[in-house]
Amino acid sequence: MKRRLLSIATLYPAATRPVFGRFVARQMEALAAREDWEVTVINPIGLPPPPFSALGRYRPLAAIPPLVTAGPFTVHHPRFLLVPGLSGRFNPWAITRAVLPLARRLHRETPFDLVDAQFFYPDGPAAADVAAALGLPHAIKARGSDIHLWGDRPAALLQMRRAARSAAAVLAVSGALARDMDALGLAPPGGITVHYTGLDRARFHPLPRAEARSLLAQSLPALTLRPADRLAVCVGALIAIKGQALAIEALTSLPGDIQLALAGTGADEAALRAHAAAHGVASRVHFLGAVSHETLPVLLSAADVMVLPSEREGLANAWIEALACGTPLVIPPIGGAPEVLDRPAAGRLAERTPAAIAAAISEILATPPAQAEVAASAARFSWDANAAALAEIYAKAAKC
């Protein structure tokens, strides 16, 4: 008989934000595709009170329907009250208040075996409270910024510790993140389980670089490359912690045939454009906007190197996707980066300085590894393996 999971995830895609938390959706889809688990997702949407919820960046969120049944499982989108910049410490309470009536009704109709949270804060404390109200065990997964950001805030950390102590399972996306969590007092009595991310192997695999660049000319005509150009690509939201400004500065000390493509959107786009202009490399920095999931593997295969100078990561899906396409990485020694770069062909660890980033890019481009050799470093990642491990972890948790 199948077990039933109720997953609470603030980090989850929807029609008006299709790439937001896409990796969480892929994990849940892979788990639901198995014979042993049924999945129901509750994706709470934080909105300020009217009329502000209909303005600016909140308008697309307000347009998300409360219920989506078209996919492999049902996704609920209840609303909770959000006061931007002020309600962070109260968000777990607000989420619980919005989710619990729905969770009670769903549990009465067809009982669940386990409640999980797909982000440690604010999801984790909310999932712990919902699970306690339903008389169920709960599990929490940490992904990086939830620990490194909220773990520095005393009110949030207290709530996270409480949720961890009562958890049947606590997961981390890398060994490094698990050690950070342990130091913060976020390990349950049974310890923290490392649960690596997955990978869509049918989508992310090497295309010959010349073929990929030819396809790019059709799918991303704004990215014009000369035959001799070499391409560095940076995949991530255009926000300060991703470090695109450092990659732009690194470009100033690299040869003029090296182009930099930024794939993503975000609040820092105007500032990054100005930064490129101020450093005299505006013509070499290409802003691609949101790149579709279909085009992203082509872009990664076309690149000679992927650079992502993030301030913090647990284990970024973008790292694994680039490697699977045969593209070596230049990333800082943060989070699970040393666990991913387990061989020279996979890339270089570089400190978050323009000089270190430029030196690492130069070293890779001087003796570029074969795409197949790079892709081999991602062979251990797949959504099937991810789901199989998760199913086993959750089966044990559900018996607690």
Report d(CA 254, CA 240) in Å as an integer: 22
Residue carrying structure tokens 């009217």: 50
Q: What pLDDT shows up at residue 20?
A: 85
What is the block-wise mean pLDDT of the chain (400 residues), using blocks of 10 residues?
A: 95 88 93 96 92 79 91 94 85 96 97 97 98 98 91 95 97 95 94 95 94 90 90 95 97 96 94 97 95 93 97 91 98 93 96 98 97 96 96 93
Residue carrying structure tokens 């502000």: 52
Report d(CA 184, CA 226) in Å as an integer: 50
Report d(CA 158, CA 170) in Å as an integer: 16
Taking a C-beta distance cutoff of 8 angstroms, is the pair 151, 88 a contact? no
Q: What pLDDT shows up at residue 157?
A: 96
Q: Where are the alpha helices (DSSP H) in the chain?
A: 22-32, 59-62, 91-109, 123-134, 145-150, 154-165, 175-183, 209-219, 244-251, 269-278, 296-302, 317-324, 337-340, 354-366, 371-375, 383-398
> Using CB atoms within 10 A of its CB, is residue 366 exposed (0-12), middle (13-18) or buried (19+)?
exposed
Q: What global pTM score does this model have?
A: 0.87
User: Which pairing describes strands 114-117 and 305-307: parallel, antiparallel, or unpaired?
Assistant: unpaired
Q: What pLDDT shows up at residue 12?
A: 94
Report d(CA 147, CA 157) in Å as an integer: 9
- Vertex 243, ends 361 and 213: CA angle to 5°? 50
- Which residues does 319 contact at the CB level (< 8 Å), separation at least 6? 306, 308, 313, 329, 331, 337, 340
When computed from its CA atoms, the radius of gyration of the chain, rounded to whole angstroms, is 21
The two counts, helices (H) then strands (E), for the chain are: 16, 16
At 367, which helix (H) or strand (E)? none
Q: Dihedral, CA atoms, 347, 350, 352, 355, nearest 10 degrees?
A: -110
Best CA proximity match to 319, nearest among 364, 378, 387, 275: 378
For the chain, which domains are there? Answer: 3-198+382-398 (3.40.50.2000), 209-378 (3.40.50.2000)
Q: What pLDDT shows up at residue 84?
A: 81
Structure tokens at 269: 């786009």
> Using CB atoms within 10 A of its CB, is residue 116 exposed (0-12), middle (13-18) or buried (19+)?
buried
